[in-house]
């Protein structure tokens, strides 16, 4: 995915929207497959593995694209500070979720809906995000 994103410059938001839409659809498919008693969808091992692998591919390959978009947007700020703040905030949210799971660890079916909701929420936030490519502009147009 990184090689593809490097080949088309200035389209990081579009790539991220497509990745998060794929993650949202895959997470919804996984969640509805797990609820086979309610939705009457087939729940085979192949379907569960496929949907879970697709969720992992879409979410994990969107992380570096997200970091690159944040670095491009806040360009005069050094990359180390930007990545440090984004990583800290991500670890804080993950730590809060794990802390919450220590108290409510008996029934975990809501966690599938939490995954779907977080993918959809991230997609909505990215849609409202205003991108700017100041660093790309300096690298490509000013240095030539």
Evaluate if residue 95 carries a pLDDT over 90: yes
Q: What is the pLDDT of residue 135?
A: 75
Domain total for the chain?
1
Q: Crossing angle for the helix pair 79-103 and 45-73, nearest 10 degrees?
A: 140
Evaluate if residue 68 carries a pLDDT over 90: no
Q: Tell me phi and psi for residue 89, to 5 degrees.
A: -65, -40
Q: What is the pLDDT of residue 143?
A: 58
Q: 124: how many CB neighbours lie within 10 A of its CB?
A: 11
Per DSSP, the three-state class of 9 is: coil
Q: Show the domain range for 87.
A: 1-142
Q: DSSP letter string over 87-132?
A: HHHHHHHHHHHHHHHHHS-S--THHHHHHHHHHHHHHHHHHT----
Question: At a CB cut-off of 8 Å and minimum separation 6, what does 38 contact?
Answer: none
Evaluate if residue 106 carries a pLDDT over 70: yes
Q: What is the pLDDT of residue 97?
A: 85
What is the token pair recorded at 48? 């569960």
Q: What is the pLDDT of residue 85?
A: 94
Q: What is the pLDDT of residue 16?
A: 92
- Per-residue pLDDT reduced to its tens digit, 21-41: 999 999 999 988 888 777 777
């Amino acid at each position: 995915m990184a090689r593809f994103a490097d080949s088309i410059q200035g389209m990081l938001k579009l790539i991220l929207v497509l990745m998060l839409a794929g993650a949202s659809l895959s997470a919804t498919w996984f969640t509805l497959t797990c609820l086979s008693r309610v939705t009457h969808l087939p729940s085979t091992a192949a379907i569960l593995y496929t949907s879970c692998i697709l969720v992992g591919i879409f979410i994990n390959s969107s992380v570096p694209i997200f970091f690159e978009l944040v670095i491009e947007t806040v360009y005069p700020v050094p990359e180390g500070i930007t990545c440090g703040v984004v990583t800290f905030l991500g670890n804080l949210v993950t730590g809060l979720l794990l802390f919450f799971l220590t108290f409510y660890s008996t029934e975990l079916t809501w966690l599938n809906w939490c995954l779907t909701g977080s993918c959809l929420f991230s997609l909505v936030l990215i849609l409202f995000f205003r991108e700017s490519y100041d660093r790309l502009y300096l690298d490509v147009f000013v240095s030539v």
